[in-house]
Each structure stands twice: as structure tokens, then as C-alpha cells.
Amino acid sequence: MAYKIDPNLCVACGTCQPECPAGAISEGDVYHIDPNLCVECGTCAGVCPQSAISLDE
């Protein structure tokens, strides 16, 4: 299960992107996690100040 970013909560602050060891997060108006690159470590979810990142179940 990869992590996902809730577009309704993401404010594109950029906190998560440099923390991703797999480089799975891309920026934009809201950020996006590529499920094919995500290694499911949860680091991004731990640093998101908006709690916009969760496991895609």
C-alpha cells in the first residue's frame, strides 16, 4: 500500500518532498505521491503539518 496525499488538505508547503527517500513526491498546486515509487516508509506522513498524507488502503 502506497501513501497518498489528500488534495483537499494539501497546501503545497513542500515539507514532505525533501523527506522522501524514494523521490516519489512531485510538486504542483498540490503534491502527489507516485505509488510505483513509494516505499511505504511513512516519513512523509510524519512530517506533514496538515495531516494530508495517509496510507492508500
Q: Give the start-to-end residue ranges of the domains of the chain.
A: 1-57
Cα 6 vs. chain centroid, distance in angstroms? 9
pLDDT in tens, 3-38: 999 999 999 999 999 999 999 999 999 999 999 999
The answer for 38, left when phi > 0, alpha when psi is -120 to 50, beta otherwise, is beta
pLDDT score at 46: 97
How far apart are the C-alpha atoms of 38 and 1, rounded to whole Å? 9
pTM: 0.91
The arithmetic mean of pLDDT across residues 36-57, rounded, is: 96
The angle subtended at Cα 21 by Cα 19 and Cα 25, nearest 5°, is 70
Pick the CATH number of 1-57 from 3.40.50.720, 3.30.70.20, 3.30.2130.10, 3.40.5.10: 3.30.70.20
